[in-house]
Every structure is written in structure tokens, then in C-alpha cells.
Amino acid sequence: MTSVGAAETDRRPIGVFDSGVGGLSVLIELRRLLPAEDLVYFADSGHCPYGLRPAAEIQALSVQAGEFLRAQGAKALVVACNTASAAGLDPLRARHEPEVPVIGLVPAVKPAVALTRSGVIGVLATPGTLRGALLRDVIAQWATPVGVRVVCDPGAGLVAAVEADQRDAPATHAILRAALGLMQAAGVDVVVLGCTHYPFLRLRIAAMAGPGVQTVDSGQGVARHTARRLAEAGRLQPGAAPGRVRFYTSGDPAAVGAVMGHLLGEAVRCESWQ
């Protein structure tokens, strides 16, 4: 693949993948910050959710997604999945860097610690993220030294609810009530949305938790980091004309595309990755 110098325009797309549609919350931030960039989004809905899978399988799926996006010409890979970031960043970076930057997600514990007044924060994340070293590391780096307590809950079933476009279903509300009730009983006043699916539940979480509880996620931070990495490599696409987005999935393109359209509020044409 031809390298691109700092003085040239790099029209190749940014590749983004998630276990399903949740990474669209990151795609939204990328489009907002880098409107001229073309994007390729891959939803691995055929293997969603990743959270209950063993780490070795998550790594293999992440490598497969990375190879697909490289085949689409991606100039950078954004791992818009907390579970895949917790398990799969090292093999992706070993295969693609330094030629292609690999940007992963870090649970937003640092901003949550800065915001808390009660000294207790919550982390709503999948089992794969909760058992990974990445979350333990950021808690040890940012929360533990200042005495902030962290209460974690997997929100079991929430990923499937977003994938099925069941955000307002009674069962989804019941899962949220249980998770938030546990956190509020512990004194949590900031909730980290540690799965990219969960920002699509932000309004429901805010309504249930009340005005005394804030939510934070990693979407804006990932977009800013992606912009920095591309700028350093001279790969940013200048201009004001909006870039285009191509959508692919390993699941049913019609069904996944319909959910994508509801989440993004626009018509989406989703294609099969094969």
C-alpha cells in the first residue's frame, strides 16, 4: 500500500468496527469532528455480543474485522467496541501499525473521577470489558489513587436490546432499573457508559437516574484521538464537503440496516461483508 506524505491528501476511508451497531455512537462523533472524512463501518452482528465470548475468540474476531476494513482501503482502524479494545488491540496493532494507526476505546473513568462529588462512580459495561485488564488499569491509574470507589454492573441484556431496536421495551427498562438501583444505593453520581451500545440508552438512563447523576462515554475522546493520529501522519482529509459512509455487516443486512437507520436518524444502506 502506498504511503501518504504530510503534504498530500489522503482520500482513503477511516475504518470503524464494533460487535454490532453500538459503535455507531463513535461514528457519530467521528462524523461531527471530521465531516470531510469517508468512513467504512463494519458491524459484526453475526457474532454479537462479544461480551460473553472468551478473550481468544474476541481477538480472532477483531483481527478478522481489521482485515476486512483494510481490504476496503482503511487508512486507520477505530475499534469502536470496549470489549474488543479490552481483548484485541495488541494483535491488531501488531498486524497493522505503524502503517495504519489502530485506535481503541478506554473506559471513561478519568473524566468520571474528575466529575464525581460523592467519591463513587459507576461503570456500566459488558462482562468482557469488566474482566479485561484495560478497565482494571484505568481504575488503578485514575480512581484508586484519589480514593474514588468504582461500582460495576454488566447491564446484562442491554447490548441485545439495542441490537434488536428494543430500547423502549419494558424488559430493557427493567435491566436499567436494576443496574442503576444498585449504583444509586452505593452513592454513585457519575455513570461511565463502558459499552458503545449504551450511549443510545443515555436518555433512558438520565430519566431513571435523575438530575443528580451524570453520564460519560468515550466517543468524543476517541474521535479527538483519531484526528490527532491522522494529523500526525498527514492523512487528514481537508475540506467542508461531507464524506460518505459505507455500512457492512456479518449479519442480515436488511435487519441490521433498519436498526442503524433508527439509531442514526437517516436512511442507511447496509451491505453484506461477503
In this structure, the number of other CB atoms found within 10 A of the CB of residue 271 comes to 12
Cα(22)–Cα(75) distance, integer angstroms: 22
Query: What single string gives the DSSP state of each residue in 127-145?
Result: HHHHTSHHHHHHIIIIIGG
Cα(253)–Cα(105) distance, integer angstroms: 26
Contact 86, 123 (CB under 8 A): no
Contact 107, 217 (CB under 8 A): no
Q: Catalytic: which of 48, 152, 195, 270?
A: 195
Residue 195 a catalytic site member: yes
Q: Catalytic: which of 48, 81, 152, 270?
A: 81
Nearest to 101 by CA among 77, 66, 65, 67: 77
Residue 81 a catalytic site member: yes
Nearest to 74 by CA among 106, 102, 46, 48: 102
The residues carrying an active-site annotation are 81, 195
